[in-house]
Amino acid sequence: MGTLFKYLRVIFVAVLLVMTFNYCSQREAGTESQLAGQTTEMSVKQDAPAKTQTNKPVNQPDYAAFVKDYQSPDTKIIGVKIGKDGKITTAMKDGARPYITYLPAVGDDGLVSDLLAHNISVITEEPQGDGLGLGNIIMIAFVGVIIYSVYMQRKALGGGAGGAGAFGKAKVAESSSETCEERFDDIAGCDQAKEDTKVAISLLKDPKRFSRLGVTPPRGLLFVGPPGTGKTLFAKAIAGEAGVPFLSKGGPDFVEMYVGVGASRVRDFFKQAREKAPCILFIDEIDALGKKRGGAGSGNNGQEAEQTLNQLLIEMDGFDTSAGVILIGATNRPDVLDEGLTRAGRFDRHITLDLPDLKAREKVFAVHLRNKPCDDDVDVMSLAQGTTGMSPADIANICNEAGLLAGLAGKDSINMKDFEMAKDKILMGDERPTMIMTDEEKRMTAAHEAGHTIVGHLSPEHDPVYKVSIVPRTKSLGITMFLPPRDMISASRTKLESMLDSLYGGRIVEELVFGPAKVSTGASNDIMRATSLARRMVTEWGLSDLGPIAFVEEGGGAQYLGGRGMFQSHTSEATAQAIDNEVKKILDASYLRAETLIKANMKPLENLTEALLRWENIGVVQIKEIMEGKDLEEVTPPPGFSYVSAQKTEVVSDTE
């Protein structure tokens, strides 16, 4: 693109010069013709009887002869035109032929006064022009195009008002040690990561400490973890603990479509770091900058990306660790990073920030609640148990949402109900109060969720039921939530089969209670999840009669931490058919087990359905009492329950 702009400028300048030359030539010819016409007119006016002047002026290079001529008593010169270029054109009487001469190089200051003294008229102005003219308009337009193209090129390169050299500068977000308020006390659940970064903090506080011992401190720290695990916060906390400036920039900010710009920004980034040493350089989403070289990229973009990465590698090798500069990178895609970037001597330490476990989530909740007024009923451990798989960012969002709900309700403190409502909103979506369902659809939804509840409650090794709701939300019409007593590191075949059984519980109840013709689409998500789980049992985990064989292997693709990668299958048609048969066999057995459990517990099923219709939301206490055989009138109502109205209207949506 930069080369294209250069060629365009050359073409524009060439065209401009040609048009200027042509215009000036035409203007010169027009001037001479007009002067000839004026000379003729002056002659005619002076001597009316004379013939019409048809003679053109001739050149008379002798200036001295011209002076002698007009000073002569018999001169025929009646007027003189003096041009700005020193050109003198005479106007003659009696049909004499005019001529042209030129002022000498040294000039003649007394010429005009002398001519006037001899009664010879003098014209010193240029002839009247033709306004701007087409040529001037075209020239102005071309000059404007050139100026605009140069301006847009520099603007695209990031120059703007920063001057011609500003587009290669790195625009860095800086936080000084006085304004970087984050500390390790603001981070919970990553004690091992704190231990791994102590050497970096020691280096920043005393850069000469390790050189005295003859050891090389780490040049870079690479933070690896799923989104929301606090990689940026951790880097700021290191700067805050060490009391040094924090210079940050995103990986995509270095990459440009113009070759050489990214490398220039990398050089400027490290230059600023050396000037502010000791300090921390932080590059977020470094995978955008450090992708493996020699990939599918081509053209200017591929060249620019590789040149930028090469410059980063050179800078990391070039700066002195004793100066107290540490580079920290953050990514959730470590698999795409170039090996030259992740090797020892550059990013020496790879620090993993994983999703927090139960104890870590409890500490994270405590950190986010320390500046929020909470009631005594807030149970942090219960909140931690109900947020399995959530990142610290998700937990912070729950705490903030609970505070917003309490504020909207006019409360002075946050209670446990606010946290439950916030968690339900984030996990299940907002309530849809305008969605009104018919009694039949409310009953079918309640029976569907009751089926999940019964099978999940009675299946071995299944997580206990935590909450059941039939309140319509943006993500579902109803939901059954299971609360694992601890974080699941691995799962047995029995546990996986129990999960399959509970997924089919809702559809089975619809078929048993309302008949095969009334089975709805509400179980579509349950069936999809059950099929996916059964297929993974067969193809990935070897939990089938086909044996411990992996029929798929993990491929490259867009894998990132916090999500499953892409898998490639290398099986024959016969093997694929055997896999499909085994998946169906597992699902059929699961469907039969769930159906048996529900048929043996029709009374609890009826009571759970009626409880959901009456209270809309039921919890652990209500489920336990109903499964123990209590009648609905003997069951303890949930706190703050509201009876469901029996208004009959058309359903708005039947999507789960």
Residue 480: strand pairing partners: 468
Contacts for 202 with CB less than 8 Å, ≥ 6 apart: 209, 210
**Length in residues, the chain:** 656
449 tagged catalytic = yes
Closest listed residue to residue 469, CA positions, set 451, 446, 490, 492: 446
Annotated active-site residue in 304, 315, 362, 449:
449
Report d(CA 72, CA 490) in Å as an integer.
123
Report d(CA 288, CA 284) in Å as an integer.
9
For 12, the enclosing helix (H) or strand (E) is: helix 2-46
Q: Which residues of 240-272 are buried (b: 16+ CB within 10 A; e: fewer)?
A: bbbebbbbbbbbebbbbebbbbbbbbbbbbbeb
For 8, the enclosing helix (H) or strand (E) is: helix 2-46
Give the torsion through C-alpha atoms of 357, 358, 360, 363, to 10 deg.
160
Q: Concatenated DSSP letters for 599-647?
A: HTTHHHHHHHHHHHHHHSEEEHHHHHHHHTT--GGGSPPPTT--PPP--
281: burial class by Cβ within 10 Å (0-12, 13-18, 19+)? buried
Q: Which long-range contacts (CB under 8 A, 24 or more apart) does 455-459 make?
A: 455/501, 455/502, 455/504, 455/505, 455/594, 455/597, 455/598, 456/480, 456/482, 456/498, 456/502, 456/505, 457/623, 457/627, 458/597, 458/601, 458/627, 459/498, 459/501, 459/502, 459/593, 459/597
Distances (CA, A) of 440 to 218, 443, 518, 524, 613: 67, 5, 11, 19, 11
Q: Are 601 and 582 in contact (CB under 8 A)?
A: no
For the annotated catalytic residues, the residue numbers are: 449
